[in-house]
Amino acid sequence: MDAVLATPIAFLAILMLILAVGEAASLLSRAWVPSLLVSFILYIALLWSGVIPADIVAKASGPVGAAMISVVITHMGTMIPLNRIREQWRGIVIALAGVVGILILVLGIGTLTYGYTTAVSGVGVVAGGIVAFLLTSAKLTEIGQQQLIAIPALILGLQSLIGMPIANIMLRKYVAKQRAAGIYDHATGVGSGADPHVAPAVKVRTWLPASMQTPIILLALLAVLGFLATVLDKLTGLNYGVWALLLGVGATAIGLVPRRPWRRPTASGSA
C-alpha cells in the first residue's frame, strides 16, 4: 500500500485536493476568502505535520510535469490578442512601472536585510503570480535551495489575502456599471451591447486547416513552441517562460496556431 501511495499520481491527487479545498472555500465565501491562501495554509499544515513530504511538488510533477510548464505558458500567450495590447497600452505601462518599482524595493531592501538569494526568491511572485511561483520553485529546486520555496508561496498567499477582496469589490462595481449601461445582463450572462473599453479581437486566418486542428496536433504545436522556448533560454539566458509567452503571442499573430487551442472542439465534435 505504501508503494501505491508513493506514486506521482497519488501526490498529484493530494495537491489537487488541497487546491480543491481552497477553491471550495473561495466559492462558498463568494470570493472573499482567497482560494490560494486557504490552499497554502492547508499545504503548510500538512507539510509541518509530516503528512506530506517536502518535495511533493517535484514528486507529483516529475520530468513530464516540469516540461508541461512551458507548454502551459505558450498556451497563455495564444490567449493574448495583439490589438487589445495596443488598445490597453496605458495599463501595460503602469504594470511595467510597477514591476520596476518592485524590483528596486524588494531587491534593494530585501538584499540588505535578508541577502540576495532570499530576496530574489520572492521578487518574481510579487509581480508574476502563480506562473512566476512555478518558475521560481523549479529554479530553487534546481540550485538546491528548496527551503526557500516557502517564501514565494507565502507571498503568493498574502497577495491573495489582500488583493482578492480589493479585486472583488472593484469588479462588483465594474459589473454594476456594465449592467446599468446595458452591456451585461446578469441573468443571462450575455451583453446587450458592445463594451466600449474592449476592442474586438481581430480574426487571424491560421495556416492549419480546420480539419487538422485536432487536440493532438495542436498540443504537438504547443510542445514544439515550448521546446523552442527552452532552446532560446539556453542561447540567450532569458528565462524560457518569457520566451514561451512571446512565442505563443507571435505564433497566434501570424496564424501558426489558433487562439486558445486547448478550447478548440475535439475530434468528436465536443468542446
And the C-alpha cell for 163?
488583493
Across the range 225-243, mean pLDDT stands at: 89
Residue among 135, 104, 109, 108 nearest 121 (CA): 135
Return d(Cα 29, Cα 58) in angstroms, integer.
31
- Please say if the pLDDT value at position 228 is more than 90: yes
Tell me the three-class secondary structure of 88-112, residue by residue: CHHHHHHHHHHHHHHHHHHHHHHHH
**Which position has the higher pLDDT, 36 or 239?**
239
What is the pLDDT, as a whole number, of residue 270?
A: 39
| Percent of the chain whose predicted confidence (pLDDT) is above 70 | 80
Residue among 86, 88, 74 nearest 256 (CA): 74
What pLDDT band is residue 264 in, cutting at 50, 70 and 90?
Answer: low
Half-sphere exposure of 168 (CA within 13 A, CB side): 15
Return d(Cα 209, Cα 181) in angstroms, integer.
40
What is the pLDDT, as a whole number, of residue 231?
A: 92
**Residues 126 and 155 sit within 8 Å (Cβ to Cβ):** yes
What is the pLDDT, as a whole number, of residue 84?
A: 72
pLDDT in tens, 160-176: 777 777 877 888 888 88
pLDDT in tens, 67-90: 677 888 888 888 887 777 777 788
What is the pLDDT, as a whole number, of residue 186?
A: 53
Residue among 60, 66, 55, 62 nearest 11 (CA): 60
pLDDT in tens, 145-156: 877 877 887 787
- Please say if the pLDDT value at position 266 is more than 50: no
Across the range 246-265, mean pLDDT stands at: 81
Instruction: Out of 173-187, 191-205, 227-241, pick the least confident.
Output: 191-205
| Percent of the chain whose predicted confidence (pLDDT) is above 90 | 6
CB atoms within 10 A of CB 218: 20
Distance from the first to the final alpha carbon of the chain: 38
Across the range 99-107, mean pLDDT stands at: 85
Return d(Cα 195, Cα 201) in angstroms, integer.
12
What pLDDT band is residue 131 in, cutting at 50, 70 and 90?
Answer: confident
- Please say if the pLDDT value at position 113 is more than 80: yes
pLDDT in tens, 195-227: 555 555 556 667 778 777 788 888 888 899 989
Q: How far is CA 110 from CA 1, 11, 115, in A?
A: 45, 33, 7
Across the range 47-59, mean pLDDT stands at: 76
Q: Is the dihedral of CA 67, 70, 71, 72 positive or negative?
A: positive
Please name the helix (run of DSSP H) or strand (run of DSSP E) that holds residue 222, with its range, or none. Answer: helix 215-236
Return d(Cα 101, Cα 220) in angstroms, integer.
38
